[in-house]
């Protein structure tokens, strides 16, 4: 089962992605986590992306696609995976199609969109900034990330809807309730398509 999680920053992709990965026994690939680890480790990739990330901008497509390619080349993604934070724009979505073909993976089954009102995501991100001290969870970067989301990533909803892959779910509520809704959507899709 190959799933992607879509939604604004702070919509719960990371939390739900981890829970779904544990539940279905497939790896979660978060490009944000990989990039943050590279920054933390002082890796060359981290040095390239640190300022861009802190400003809330998108990292260069080629770099991110490289990260995804490396991960999809690993054997544990053969039975499925959960993409969290990738693709972030239409060019990345197209690159993903090419990558899946190259790595002999089947196409993505479902694009799950966690729909959360903007006011609520701002509130969540400001809280996370206080609790976890993420470099991009302060007011200026949050505003920029949301603008970038609306301009670059939001159009992907229509892109995947046109391909019959999109399921939009209410991303407000308790973590457990949202997880239940997501798992139900996945199970329903799998039983319909015989996965």
Long-range contacts of 131-135 (CB under 8 A, 24+ apart): 134/36, 135/39, 135/53, 135/54
Region near ligand AMP per CB under 6 A, out of 17-25, 29-37, 94-102, 165-173: 29-37
The owner of tokens 């995976």 is 81
Lookup: tokens for 6: 């879509």
Nearer to ligand AMP (CB atom), residue 59 or residue 112: 59
Nearest approach, Cβ of residue 191 and ligand AMP (Å)? 30
9 is an interface residue for ligand AMP by CB under 6 A: yes
How far is residue 4's CA from residue 28's CA, in Å, rounded to a whole number? 10
CB 186 within 8 A of CB 39: no
> Taking CB under 6 A as the rule, which mask of x and - marks residues 130-159 in contact with ligand AMP?
------x--------x--------------
How far is residue 51's CA from residue 78's CA, in Å, rounded to a whole number? 34
113 is an interface residue for ligand AMP by CB under 6 A: no
Nearest approach, Cβ of residue 32 and ligand AMP (Å)? 2
- CA angle at 141 for the pair 173 and 49, rounded to the nearest 5°: 110
Query: Which residues, 6+ apart, have CB-to-CB distance to 47 below 8 Å?
Result: 39
Residue 134 annotated as catalytic: yes
88 is an interface residue for ligand AMP by CB under 6 A: yes
Nearer to ligand AMP (CB atom), residue 120 or residue 189: 120
32 is an interface residue for ligand AMP by CB under 6 A: yes
Residue 13 annotated as catalytic: yes
Residue 47 annotated as catalytic: no
Edge-to-edge strands of the sheet including 81-84? 28-30, 81-84, 2-6, 110-115, 166-170
Lookup: tokens for 17: 């992605």
> Taking CB under 6 A as the rule, which mask of x and - marks residues 41-60 in contact with ligand AMP?
-----------xx--xxxx-
Give residues in contact with ligand AMP (CB under 6 A): 9, 31-32, 35, 52-53, 56-59, 64, 85-86, 88, 92, 136, 145
Q: Which residues are catalytic?
A: 13, 88, 128, 134, 145
């Amino acid at each position: 089962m190959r799933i992607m999680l879509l939604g604004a920053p702070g919509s719960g992709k990371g939390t739900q992605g981890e829970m779904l990965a544990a539940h279905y026994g497939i790896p979660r690939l978060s490009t944000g986590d990989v990039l943050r680890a590279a920054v933390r480790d002082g890796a060359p990739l981290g040095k390239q992306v640190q300022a861009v990330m802190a400003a809330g901008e998108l990292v260069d497509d080629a770099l991110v696609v490289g990260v995804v390619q490396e991960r999809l080349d690993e054997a544990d993604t053969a039975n499925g995976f959960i993409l969290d934070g990738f693709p972030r724009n239409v060019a990345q979505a197209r690159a993903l199609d090419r990558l899946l073909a190259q790595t002999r993976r089947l196409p993505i089954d479902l694009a799950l969109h966690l729909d959360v009102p903007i006011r609520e995501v701002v509130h969540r991100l400001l809280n996370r900034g206080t609790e976890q001290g993420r470099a991009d969870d302060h007011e200026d970067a949050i505003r920029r990330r949301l603008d970038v989301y609306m301009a670059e990533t939001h159009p992907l909803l229509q892109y995947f809807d046109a391909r019959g892959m999109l399921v939009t779910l209410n991303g407000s509520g308790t973590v457990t309730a949202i997880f239940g809704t997501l798992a139900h959507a996945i199970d329903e899709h799998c039983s319909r398509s015989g996965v």
